[in-house]
Structure 1
Amino acid sequence: MSEYGRAKAVQLRRESVGVCSSAQRRGSGGGHGTTTPVTRPSAIRNHGSGGSRGSGSGSGGAFLNKAINQELQQCRSLDDLDAVLSSHASDFDSINVCTAWLQLAKLKPWVTPQHGQYATMPPEVAPFVRLLVGKTLANVHRMGMREVTNILWSMGKLSVQLESQPNGHYLAELIEQRLLEVAGEGGLADARHAEQLWYSFATSKLTGLYR
């Protein structure tokens, strides 16, 4: 990461901390300004108007992507997820990519880390990760803050090491660039997004992105 990139990443961290702190000061006043700890993010269900769609963003494409998202959310095993990816991955938009990452993190086999070591990525999910890294590369420029932070959360849960993935360093640069863009567009105005981003910074092992 360049010196400019490091400086901007520090700025982004500070902004996310500032928004989170502001939300905490608001305490229990309702709305989104609660102090509930960040847990697994929810899938994005909205395929309405906006910049978070892929190349098939016409009415027919939007209908297809909404149907794909519903199929992804209904997956209850890696086999289910594999079936959806095999049938529809070529039609994924950015929301589908995000939902697929969330489902993979949810369905991954549990691996008990050895004492004093970080958890490693289960070998069963490696083919899924390679596919989704490629899909993320193709769609990251269309993603909003929620999608990017949800994907980072999922990568952290899956113990993804971006530097070991094909084009992983390039993806790290694109994610960094997109985070800065959407933050500059007010992407951190929603405290939930700031909390999720801070959680990703605090827990992720994505060395290609954070070091």
Structure 2
Amino acid sequence: MKKIEWGKYILIYLAGFLTSFSGVLDSLVKILTLYKEFKKTYIYDSEFLTGNWSTNAEYVINSAELGLLSIQAFDDGSASGEIMSEKICDALPLIWYIKLETESPDFEEFFIDRKFYLKQLQKGRMQTVAVLKLIHEDRKNGAIQFELIGDDTDVLPKRIVLAKNYPQYKSDFKELSNYCAESPKKFWREYYKRQGKKFPESHTKNGVLLPVTS
């Protein structure tokens, strides 16, 4: 009889413990959910960052040069995209596929500006050529502003303001793509000129210098 009584008390205790433990788990899940929402609201918003951005002077005040950024942000807050402008293509002419990346943000991004890294393919891997920080997000009007921290290209402006998803993006992208496709050819033409040699026009294809056999 005593064993039955003790068994009953043990079952009651276990039931209470499991209920309490379940409550703790629910609280932890709620805390994690709230933290994710906090990060999305105050640190990053994947949906807002994702899209096509431009410095087109028709839409951005005081825009000195046309620049385009197409970026995809992911659920963890990291983001990756392509950036293009005439000056960037001329400064990095051999491979004008330039990426802008940022890692998944930590809680510290609530207190400091988030960093983005401009990278170019060099020697078989992507290497950082400039660092920017995101200093302002205007989610109401669809605009972001970057400030330059470091720049190995020496062509980026100190501040870059971009507007999102404007009508001229496709035509501007085509215009810049055509310009950037000529950047390698211009580079090699200047290179040969400095060497006192004639640039072999017949040995180029789409602006890329082909191997020349002697």
- Shorter-chain TM-score bucket reads under 0.3
What TM-score comes out, normalization by structure 1 length? 0.20
Structure with bigger gyration radius = 2
What TM-score comes out, normalization by structure 2 length? 0.20
Q: Which has the higher helix share?
A: 1
- Point out which structure has higher relative CO (alpha carbons under 8 A, 6+ apart): 1
